[in-house]
Amino acid sequence: MATINSRATEGDLRNAPEDGQKHELVDGAIVVSPAGTRHGLVSVRLSSRLGPFVEAHDLGYVVDSSTGFRLPNGNVRLPDVAFVARGRFPDERVPEDFSDIPPDLAVEVLSPSDRPRFVLDKVGEYLQAGVRLVWVIDPRRRRAAVYRSATEVREVLEDGVLDGEDVVRGFACPLADLLG
């Protein structure tokens, strides 16, 4: 019996089931990442703070984990929360399809099933694509890692603050507020 190896496409990703899990196109395969309830809660808490701040200051766009970003390596990644600065989308038109413009801020909230190597690969892809700031929030360990580059990494403990720095200027959120 012959085996046919086919690579998944963006079309396959668009047709992935709406089953409450995150689907990404990674190295020609659809990768499924189940998210837990705490993951969802932390993501919503961040979005509910970041979104109004960005709108009030007319800084750009905040999107959720249903938004895909095409990366130069061909992968389509869906950060849990992302920010794209005003002026980045041509004519300020938000794409209907996956975005060819990488976000300025990408946020990943770890789920119990996330593997460290997979998360680090994703962070590296974001940074190589031009993402200026990456936050990886770990609800179980009650801390976050802030990446500006592969070598510029800072840990934020539960009593610390996630700072938008020069990417989302003026935004600051106590990590404890997100973790509850």
Cα–Cα distances in angstroms (integers) from residue 13 to residues 24, 128, 131, in the given order: 7, 22, 22
133-138 and 105-109 beta bridge pairing: parallel
Where does the pLDDT of residue 133 fall: very low under 50, low under 70, confident under 90, or very high at 90 and above?
very high
Does residue 5 carry a pLDDT above 60? no
Percent of residues, the chain, with pLDDT higher than 70: 97
Q: pLDDT-based confidence at 117, cuts 50/70/90?
A: confident
Q: What is the pLDDT of residues 59-97, one digit of tens each?
A: 999 999 999 999 999 999 999 999 999 999 999 999 999
- pTM for this entry: 0.93
